[in-house]
Structure 1
Amino acid sequence: MQQVMSERTSNKKMHPHKFTLWVAIGSITMMFAGFTSAYIVKSNQAGWQPVQMPKIFFLSTVLILLSSGTIYLAYRAMKNRETGKYKNLVLLTTLLGLGFVATQFLGFNELWNQNITFKESVAGSFFYIITGVHALHVVGGVIALLVIFARAFSTKTKYYSSTPVEIAGIYWHFVDILWIYLFVFFLLVS
């Protein structure tokens, strides 16, 4: 009886990497809550000039939403041992992630060319910091995707565990949701 209960509880344990990821997600969420709260507080000061969201960020949003779908499908393909489909979906997710980063860079460049700089615009400074820190988290996700991509196409070793894909997928969905939050936030407060 005790052995059966022990087997049941051991099956419910969370993978240590997944636990660490959830702790990190909690910390990152608190950081961005602080960033956006500070933005709201500062925006009530005299002389505040809100930043208009660059139009290319709409494309960024579409790219990251699509990539969230493709990483989910990649995870399912990995679980179903559909190797070819998995490889294609990991490749597509990585390309969409890189596209997100590229469009973010183009949006920052557009703002910079409009003279919305750290020195000239307090709102711009907040905007760059908040969206830039998010972009750094996306770059971290892209690095994880590149590792998964390299493993998928490695001829030396075959990986059949779906845990790394699941963990990368959870993180990728998180940066997607975080971007949607920031996107809507800046649309509403600008």
Structure 2
Amino acid sequence: MSWLPIYNAWVLMVGIVSVFLWKLVGLWVFLFVVFVSLVWLIKESLCTVKHYATAFWVFILSEVIVFGTLFCLCVITVEDDLSPLSSPLELPLLGCFILTGSSVTVTTYHHYLGSYYGRFFLLLTIILGFGFLVLQMFEFYDCDCDFTFCVYGSVCFSIVGLHFLHVLGGLIALCFLYFFGDVVPGSNVDFVVWYWHFVDYIWLFVYLIVYLS
């Protein structure tokens, strides 16, 4: 029996409760346990024990369910007189090109894994991912509405913010591969590349549903 589901549920609960109750102590506890989780993940990635892809695909399935639920809420709560977070032909569209380009570069990195070209395209993927995060922060800063504006706005912010966190997590994993890729098993590299593709494809659905609906 694994303790990870209980641990993950507790971390998520602390984070959500701290955000809604504005408890700074809870937020610090949340950041600490996230740090512990990252240390544990790094330790696991250095382990030579074979990990099976089934658990990874179960994780992806759970992420699809979460995003699918939020997408349904976005469609249900949309109103005719409400505008999207930003113009779909400006920053969000540029984000589509950036993430699509990063999907191409990470595939090229995977193809040339272990060579100089592979490291170059991995670095290019990291730069594109970082550029997307900067783009998202500019979008949040220029947005006229906020999280408490209405139900539809809250759902849209939740979707875009959740995707932002996923991109950030993927970017951390890519940076780890860039600096410590020589000691990471090949199967773990595959998981990171697949995860980045998943993040790219999810953004296309975010663009279609949140910005164009």
Aligned counterpart, 2:56? 21
Q: Distance in 2 between matches of 1:171 and 1:96?
A: 16
1:98 aligns with 2:130: yes
Aligned counterpart, 1:9? none
1:110 aligns with 2:145: no
Which of 49, 54, 64 does residue 82 from structure 2 map onto?
Answer: 49
Tell whether the 8 Å contact from 1:64 to 1:96 is kept in structure 2 after alignment: yes
Q: Which has the larger radius of gyration?
A: 1
Aligned counterpart, 1:131? 160
Instruction: Using the TM superposition, give the Cα deviation of residue 17 of structure 1 relative to its aligned residue in structure 2, in angstroms.
Output: 4.8
Q: Distance in 2 between matches of 1:177 and 1:17?
A: 23
Aligned-partner SS, 1:30: helix
Q: How does 1:165-180 map to 2 (within 5 A)?
A: 165-180=189-204
Which of 148, 155, 159 does residue 119 from structure 1 map onto?
Answer: 148
Q: Distance in 2 between matches of 1:122 and 1:147?
A: 37
Residue type at the aligned position of 1:109: Y
Aligned counterpart, 2:65? 30
Instruction: Using the TM superposition, give the Cα deviation of residue 123 of structure 1 relative to its aligned residue in structure 2, in angstroms.
Output: 2.4
Instruction: Using the TM superposition, give the Cα deviation of residue 160 of structure 1 relative to its aligned residue in structure 2, in angstroms.
Output: 7.7
1:182 aligns with 2:203: no
Q: Distance in 2 between matches of 1:33 and 1:120?
A: 22
User: How many residues of Structure 1 are paired with residues of Structure 2 in the alignment?
Assistant: 162
Tell whether the 8 Å contact from 2:74 to 2:210 is kept in structure 1 after alignment: no
Tell whether the 8 Å contact from 1:74 to 1:86 is kept in structure 2 after alignment: yes
Could you list the runs of 5+ residues in structure 1 that have no partner in the other structure?
1-14, 153-157
Which of 140, 147, 150 does residue 169 from structure 2 map onto?
Answer: 140
Q: Deviations over 1:41-69 (max 9, x none)?
A: 2225xx86242534211111111111111
Identity %: 26
Residue type at the aligned position of 1:36: F
1:87 aligns with 2:119: yes
Tell whether the 8 Å contact from 2:110 to 2:193 is kept in structure 1 after alignment: yes
Could you list the runs of 5+ residues in structure 2 that have no partner in the other structure?
1-49
Tell whether the 8 Å contact from 1:49 to 1:121 is kept in structure 2 after alignment: no
Q: Distance in 1 between matches of 2:52 and 2:97?
A: 29
1:58 aligns with 2:93: yes
Q: Distance in 2 between matches of 1:117 and 1:187?
A: 16
TM-score normalised by length of structure 1? 0.78
Q: Distance in 1 between matches of 2:101 and 2:52?
A: 25
TM-score normalised by length of structure 2? 0.70
CA shift in 2, pair 1:69/1:32, >3 Å: same
Aligned-partner SS, 2:159: helix
Instruction: Using the TM superposition, give the Cα deviation of residue 119 of structure 1 relative to its aligned residue in structure 2, in angstroms.
Output: 2.7
Tell whether the 8 Å contact from 1:97 to 1:138 is kept in structure 2 after alignment: yes
Q: How does 1:152-167 map to 2 (within 5 A)?
A: 152=181, 158-159=182-183, 161-167=185-191
Instruction: Using the TM superposition, give the Cα deviation of residue 148 of structure 1 relative to its aligned residue in structure 2, in angstroms.
Output: 0.2
